[in-house]
Amino acid sequence: MTRRELFKLIESGEGLQIEFKQKFSSHEKIAKEMVAFANTKGGVIIFGIRDNGKIQGVESEKGEAGLIKEAAEKFCEPPISYLIEYFDVDEKEIVCCTINEAKVKPHRLQDYESELLINKAQVYVRVNDKSVPASKEMIRILKAHSEEKKLYKYSIGKLEKAVFEYLDEHESVSVKELCNAANTSARRASRTLVKLVRAGMILIHTKDNGEEYFTYRG
């Protein structure tokens, strides 16, 4: 990253792929941001910048780098790859940590489990300028896409038809709304919506508060 690119990122402000941090806060909080970027489209955490974009600088770039390394390797599962770059701006030290989008998803906060447990795993995704918890549906979709699991001979049943009928009358549908409309369990509603996303028939969206909803493909 060049200095010009750094200034451009700072000027653009926080967003889907940019997060400002005044300093390293805690391993868990930084790991959460790393996990969210890796599970979405990648991004950059810039240390030494206030939320308003004002340059503050960090106390020690080497100390910051050591904490970032610990967060990525010990607090993320699987460990997250990253790139650290250092900049001196007006005699203030800035540390940039770039995380690429993961090829194998989802990443989660370290829970010391041998495998991903959907009901327990702390998985995060990026929505606008926030890192939010991923729903069970999103976790299943991320996992299926990474494993390149394709649906073969997928048939349209009663619940699938209920989804289409609901979307014909409304702009979107949630798991809860499908439960009420089709008088079915949350488990069946969730799995039906996930399968339709995997089949490419509908899209999943995440709100700023982490809630998920589904729409027809645009």
Q: Both 34 and 112 in a single domain?
A: yes
Q: Both 124 and 208 in a single domain?
A: no
Q: Both 128 and 161 in a single domain?
A: no
Which domain does 173 fall in, by range? 142-216
Tell me the average confidence (pLDDT) per consecutive run of 10 residues in the chain, 218 residues long. 92 94 94 97 96 92 94 97 94 95 95 92 93 92 78 79 94 94 94 90 87 87
Q: What is the number of structural domains in the chain?
A: 2
Q: Both 7 and 106 in a single domain?
A: yes
DSSP 173: B
Contact at 8 Å (CB) between 172 and 105? Answer: no
Hey, which residues does 43 pair with through a beta bridge? Answer: 99
DSSP 134: P
Q: Which residues contact 113 (CB under 8 A, 6 or more apart)?
A: 77, 120, 121
Q: Both 169 and 124 in a single domain?
A: no
Q: Which of 106, 134, 162 is the last residue of a domain?
A: 134
CA distances 64 to 40, 144, 207, Å, are: 24, 35, 32
Contact at 8 Å (CB) between 51 and 20? Answer: yes
C-alpha dihedral (181, 186, 192, 193), degrees to nearest 10: 80
At 209 the pLDDT is 81
Prediction pTM value? 0.85
Q: Both 121 and 62 in a single domain?
A: yes
- Of 139, 137, 196, nearest to 162 by C-alpha is 196
Q: Give the C-alpha separation, 150 to 154, whole Å.
A: 10
Count of all residues that appear for the chain in the document? 218
Q: Both 76 and 164 in a single domain?
A: no
Q: Both 41 and 99 in a single domain?
A: yes
Q: Which of 134, 163, 185 is the last residue of a domain?
A: 134
At 145 the pLDDT is 79
Q: Which of 105, 134, 163 is the last residue of a domain?
A: 134
